[in-house]
Structure 1
Amino acid sequence: MAVEFGIFSVGDLTSDPLGTVRRSEHNRLRDITRIAKKAEEVGFDVFAIGEHHNPPFVPSSPTTILGYIAAQTSRITLSTSTTLITTNDPVKIAEDYATLQHLSDGRVDLMLGRGNTAEVYPWFGKDLRDGIALAVENYALLHRLWREEGIDWSGRFRTPLTNFTAVPRPYLDTPPFVWHGSIRSPEIAEQAAFYGDGFFANNLFMHMSHFERLVGFYRERFEHYGHGSADAAIVGAGGQAFVRARSQDAIEEYRPYFANTFTYQGQGNLEEVMANTSLTVGSPQQVIDRYLSMKEYYGEYQRQLFLVDAGGLPIELVLEQLELLGSEVIPVLRREWESARSLS
């Protein structure tokens, strides 16, 4: 598959650290739509939204948000970052994302994950200690629901199904492509490899060498299960960039937003986090060079998503960043990555 570049949002409702913008849930949800539309306009391939059920986040219903965006876009792939496979009923996931497929003419895939909020488990009647088992069992059922009719099924975590068919059926009888996202769990990488699905490395919370090991493990197991060579495994990675013509200006402008971003709390100062993770604050060329170097960690991979709106960045600044990335960074990355593939 050709390399894809996209935008993802976790939908945090974080106050502007400079105090210039007053934010509300209503405005944040509307702004997410503006971000997705702008991403399509400037040439990104994917827009993905997270799922959270606790403050300070707003996207508790990602399919509702994506359905609204689908009606206002025509090309961009709509995805998630992530859909909670542990606390959602797999039957409802099957129904919701098949419906979204139909309404968007098939422009849908999704990333499944356990999430990073422990409190959500008891809110939905689940036990955090069952997280891995829930992810494995629920996806086994979801995988069948999109491919079979008249299912008989029983498991540990939901009531049995007898002669059950999820409706609507997937658009054009083709289930949405699934990425399995993980920060630290080799079991999830194993699951992705077993089914021949994609594996997505967050690439923000920890040192890139940590994600390098997870991706390497997934590639080995992908080949083990007979889906193709390890080099052909389907890998995606997260990232974050803030761009200005001069790197000094970018760092100075972004620093208060960095300090305001929950993702980086406890990881060190801006310079330390930039050295250890994929966060890149600088000139367009610095962002280009940094992300071209990601292949040293992950090999050839198929999807690169950028976080652009965390930490309370005002919407106008986010849209400006999308314009800069779309005009000065992504075309070069796309050209260089595709050129390297054609030579390999």
Structure 2
Amino acid sequence: MTTPASTTARSSPAAEYERERLRALVDLAAWAEGVGYDAFGVGERHNPAFLSSAPAVLLAHIAARTSRIRLVTTVAVLSLADPVRAAEEYATLDHLSDGRLDLIIGKGNDPVSPGMFGVDAAELWDRLAENYELFRRLWREENVTWTGRFRPPLHGATTRPRPLQQPAPRVWHGSASSERSTDLAARWGDPLYSANGFRRTDHYLALVQRYRDRLAHHGHDPAATPLALGVHSPIITDRSQDALALARPAFAAFRDLPVARQNHFPFDSLEDFIDNGSALVGTADQITEKLLDLHRRFGNQVLGVGVEGFFLTDPATTRAHLERFFAEVAPTLRAELPAPVWAPDPPERQGRGAARPAH
């Protein structure tokens, strides 16, 4: 079982604070590599409430500060990007990171971002499908000729640099609420990253089941296609009642936030969220058994564990719980579910920037 982390840096009106926040994000990635995460992801938002408007730039700096951890977009909002520019930027990042790049792409769910580009939100799914088709060709072909709805045509276009990983870095599709994302991933035989965030587990399981049905429909092997599943940052204590006491105030506060209504948060109690959602609250043994049960239901090879606290706002406290997770939970998961998606290079290729095989 492999474990990626992801973050979106929240903003502030103070430019000096923004500088500190961006540096803290890079430091967080270095810490994540040291504590045991297998990948670190940066989201994309074009919204003054967030700082992660340029994930390729942030990940390039993280690449310079790390050596092992995979670099992931969570997600790259390809519906709002020009495919030519995106192909060039992320291929550059693939080289600078010595082939450590994976992309997770998506439509995006931020209500502010489309307006920043003058894009009608009703077009986002169609734009994502078209942009990804072109993006995929630009990474795999040279002299591309192409015509679509949303950008000027191309005639014999070749983007540089070519990706380091061949035929191209792995592209995942972020999935949260719509069958459009599962169907697009299945069409191309790409892996799916199920958010498993704010709704009931059964909702995400139904999307994953549809994804696998559509994979088979398009002639792809579901058993050979990786699946990632997200969960919230954990609260781990020696006694379960102590974990519940820590989490309960934050749960009650979250239910009253606009983001809870926007994401149709359905849980009436903390216990319901733990039993039927993605909350990790309890002892190490309880959390281990929950994650093993999720694996039995989903068959995921990747587990995305939140690196920013859902229940806790203090970064030091959140990191302390994550350190317990990697010391007390992760070893069991990795021993019982040995399915690394990102296998390390053999010793003779380490340190030479060798390209890794992509799905």
Could you say whether these structures have the same fold, taking a TM-score greater than 0.5 normalized by the shorter chain as the test? Answer: yes
Spell out, residue by residue over 1:318-342, the C-alpha distance to the aligned partner (whole angstroms, 9 max, x if none). 3222311211111111111129xxx
Q: Aligned AA for 1:215?
A: V
In the alignment, the residues of structure 2 paired with residue 165 and residue 85 of structure 1 have an alpha-carbon distance, to the nearest angstrom, of 19
In the alignment, the residues of structure 1 paired with residue 153 and residue 238 of structure 2 have an alpha-carbon distance, to the nearest angstrom, of 58
Q: Who is 1:338 aligned against?
A: 338
In the alignment, the residues of structure 2 paired with residue 226 and residue 117 of structure 1 have an alpha-carbon distance, to the nearest angstrom, of 33
Q: Which moved more, 1:132-141 or 1:321-330?
A: 321-330
Q: Who is 1:43 aligned against?
A: 36
Contact persistence 2:86–2:135 (CA under 8 A): yes
Q: Who is 2:357 aligned against?
A: none
CA shift in 2, pair 1:11/1:135, >3 Å: same
CA shift in 2, pair 1:172/1:51, >3 Å: closer
Q: SS of the counterpart of 2:332? A: helix
Spell out, residue by residue over 1:217-241, the C-alpha distance to the aligned partner (whole angstroms, 9 max, x if none). 111111222222x333321111012
CA shift in 2, pair 1:271/1:264, >3 Å: farther
Q: SS of the counterpart of 1:4? A: coil
Counterpart selection for 1:6 from 4, 7, 15: 4
Q: Aligned AA for 1:309?
A: E
How far has the Cα of 1:272 moved from its partner? Answer: 2.9
Question: Aligned-pair RMSD on alpha carbons?
Answer: 2.1
How far has the Cα of 1:286 moved from its partner? Answer: 1.4
Contact persistence 2:46–2:116 (CA under 8 A): no
Is residue 2:123 matched to residue 1:125? no
In the alignment, the residues of structure 1 paired with residue 335 and residue 165 of structure 2 have an alpha-carbon distance, to the nearest angstrom, of 32
Contact persistence 1:101–1:108 (CA under 8 A): yes
Counterpart selection for 2:152 from 159, 162, 175: 159
Contact persistence 1:209–1:297 (CA under 8 A): no
How far has the Cα of 1:102 moved from its partner? Answer: 0.4
Q: Who is 2:231 aligned against?
A: 239
In the alignment, the residues of structure 2 paired with residue 60 and residue 255 of structure 1 have an alpha-carbon distance, to the nearest angstrom, of 33
In the alignment, the residues of structure 2 paired with residue 260 and residue 174 of structure 1 have an alpha-carbon distance, to the nearest angstrom, of 47
Q: Which moved more, 1:310-319 or 1:102-111?
A: 310-319
How far has the Cα of 1:56 moved from its partner? Answer: 2.8
Q: Who is 2:270 aligned against?
A: 270
Q: Aligned AA for 2:6?
A: F
Q: Aligned AA for 2:319?
A: L
Q: Which moved more, 1:233-242 or 1:4-13?
A: 4-13
Contact persistence 1:35–1:318 (CA under 8 A): no
Contact persistence 2:5–2:307 (CA under 8 A): yes
How far has the Cα of 1:138 moved from its partner? Answer: 0.5
How far has the Cα of 1:246 moved from its partner? Answer: 2.3
Q: Aligned AA for 1:317?
A: T
Q: Who is 2:65 aligned against?
A: 72
CA shift in 2, pair 1:48/1:134, >3 Å: same
Q: Who is 1:208 aligned against?
A: 201
Query: What does residue range 1-344 of structure 1 map to in structure 2 within 5 Å?
Result: 3-12=1-10, 24-228=17-221, 230-240=222-232, 241-259=234-252, 264=260, 266-267=265-266, 268-298=268-298, 300-311=299-310, 313-338=313-338
Contact persistence 1:31–1:315 (CA under 8 A): no
How far has the Cα of 1:264 moved from its partner? Answer: 4.3
CA shift in 2, pair 1:279/1:55, >3 Å: farther
Q: Which moved more, 1:242-251 or 1:161-170?
A: 242-251
In the alignment, the residues of structure 2 paired with residue 107 and residue 243 of structure 1 have an alpha-carbon distance, to the nearest angstrom, of 31
The number of equivalent residue pairs is: 327
Q: Aligned AA for 1:9?
A: T
In the alignment, the residues of structure 1 paired with residue 113 and residue 136 of structure 2 have an alpha-carbon distance, to the nearest angstrom, of 23
Q: Aligned AA for 1:278?
A: S
Spell out, residue by residue over 1:157-212, the C-alpha distance to the aligned partner (whole angstroms, 9 max, x if none). 11111211111110144311000012122121111111111111110121111111
Q: Aligned AA for 2:51?
A: V
CA shift in 2, pair 1:110/1:264, >3 Å: same
Q: Aligned AA for 1:133?
A: D
CA shift in 2, pair 1:206/1:172, >3 Å: closer
Q: SS of the counterpart of 1:86? A: helix
In the alignment, the residues of structure 2 paired with residue 242 and residue 32 of structure 1 have an alpha-carbon distance, to the nearest angstrom, of 21
Q: Which runs of 5+ in 1 are unaligned?
A: 15-22, 340-344
Percentage identity across aligned positions?
Answer: 38
Q: SS of the counterpart of 1:53? A: coil
Q: Which runs of 5+ in 2 are unaligned?
A: 340-359
How far has the Cα of 1:317 moved from its partner? Answer: 1.9
In the alignment, the residues of structure 2 paired with residue 308 and residue 254 of structure 1 have an alpha-carbon distance, to the nearest angstrom, of 16
Contact persistence 1:6–1:303 (CA under 8 A): yes
Spell out, residue by residue over 1:91-145, the C-alpha distance to the aligned partner (whole angstroms, 9 max, x if none). 1211111111100100010100111113311211211111211111010000001
In the alignment, the residues of structure 1 paired with residue 332 and residue 29 of structure 2 have an alpha-carbon distance, to the nearest angstrom, of 21
Contact persistence 1:53–1:60 (CA under 8 A): yes
CA shift in 2, pair 1:50/1:256, >3 Å: farther
Contact persistence 2:147–2:153 (CA under 8 A): yes
